[in-house]
A and B are shown apart, each in its own frame.
Chain A
Amino acid sequence: MKKEILIAIVIGFALGLLITFGIWTANKAILTKSEAPPEEKEVQEIVEPTPIPVGFSLNILSPQDETLIDTNKAEIKGSSVAAAIIVIVAENGEKIIEADENGSFATEVSLVRGINEITITAFNQEGEKTSETLSVVYSTAEI
């Protein structure tokens, strides 16, 4: 009887060791697998961020190109570099303004009925030039 108990204990101990070794091996494999991607992720995080234009640029926030405006004035809002000189040529005349220290600018221009082509040109302090032309239509017709 004692011999049988002893054999059962030994088998049980061996089985326990086997299961423990199995779990340890599986756990190690999972850890190795899950630890590897963060390195890749780190690399991706360094490479992937959306590039923010740091150089000279002109971004028109409003009005959007090819838009329909139902008032005879349009507010031109946008951003460029700090203290950029902004030249706006509209159908009804021209305006020259300066962007603020953040590069933001806003001004109002008069529109003519129908087709309006508005050219916005920005100059930075080094004299570099960039421009964009907006095509908008002024109409009070109900649609």
Chain B
Amino acid sequence: MFFVVCFMLLPRALAQTPTPADDEISPEIKEKVQERIEAIQESGSKKAAYYGTITDISNSTLTIESGKGERKIKTDEETDFLGEKGQAIKLDDLEIEDFVIALGYLETDGLLLGKRISVLAEEPEPVEPKEAVYGEVADISKEEEVISLTSLKDEVTYEIDVTSKTTIEKKIGEKTEEIEFEEIEIGDRLAAVGIKKNDNGTITASFIYLIPAGAETTEEEITPTPKASPTPVEEE
């Protein structure tokens, strides 16, 4: 009877599923998980800064409209408030529509514990937006120093205006070197960044990064298979 019972229970013990080995997890997944863990750890009470226009002040909490949406800043008795000229002010002196920069520590749910809140005289003017383009050189006007660049994705052509202030760099081996406009050739690939003129869409480049023709697939460079040399035959 005892043996019968033991015999019946035995298969269960043997049927335990093995724990998956750590080796089954790819290093890429491990790396991504590690990065995510580090990011989460760093976000705990880290220094942060919000800026924007005040839309609401209630219960010692400011609500501002930043370029990235609504942000809330909690204030307490330790919070320093500074006016437009850097003078000490109080929470009550803040007004709706004031543009503020708040420095503090990030708490849960994106709430900032404000330690120093400064009022700016006016909202900083947005800088002229710069456009980044990448493509293949279709044409070059050496006299006017204008490059016609065709986007690789949608084949849109951009006119890139090169001036004396434009920095042109080219990667040579592991280093980058500054080069002259004359070294750019049709068929080269380049990335350029600059201000786009509204009238004709020309981009006045401030920086150009050149990838010479044939060098764009460096990561997939294939070493040519050496040709088999004929076996020398000894002449008798």
Contact = CB atoms under 8 A, between A and B. Distances in A.
Nearest to A61: B35
A95 interface: yes
B49 A125 contact: no
Interface in B10-65: 11-12, 15, 17, 28-29, 32, 35, 39, 42-43, 46-51
Given A85-B191, A94-B130, A128-B153, A143 B5 contact: no
A50 B43 CA distance: 21
A86 B58 CA distance: 43
Contacts of B116: 141, 143
Contact of B9 (A27, A38, A98, A121): A27
A115 B101 contact: yes
A95 B207 contact: yes
A131 B176 CA distance: 23
Contacts of A137: 49, 51, 101, 103
Contacts of A117: 67, 127
B209 interface: yes
A10 to B, nearest CB: 15
Contact of B127 (A16, A91, A129): A91
Contact of A96 (B32, B101, B209): B209
A18 to B, nearest CB: 11
Interface in B177-236: 191, 193, 206-209, 211, 216-219
A87 B193 contact: yes
A87 B207 CA distance: 9
A114 B154 CA distance: 38
Contacts of A24: 8
Contacts of A121: 132
A101 B219 contact: yes
Given A38-B17, A115-B51, A127-B151, A20 B135 contact: no
Interface residues of A, number: 48
Interface centre among B32, B35, B191 (most CB of A within 10 A): B191
A76 interface: no
Interface in A28-86: 30-31, 38, 50, 52, 61, 64-68, 82-83, 85
A11 to B, nearest CB: 14
Given A91-B127, A123-B191, A96 B217 contact: no
Contacts of A101: 219
A119 B127 CA distance: 12
B163 to A, nearest CB: 14
Query: Considering the complex of A and B, which 6 residue pairs feature the smallest CB-CB distances, nearest first?
Result: A127-B152, A137-B49, A96-B209, A127-B153, A143-B115, A123-B134
19 contacts: A31-B11, A38-B17, A52-B28, A64-B42, A66-B48, A67-B48, A68-B103, A83-B216, A85-B209, A87-B134, A87-B193, A96-B169, A96-B207, A96-B208, A115-B51, A117-B67, A129-B134, A137-B103, A143-B104
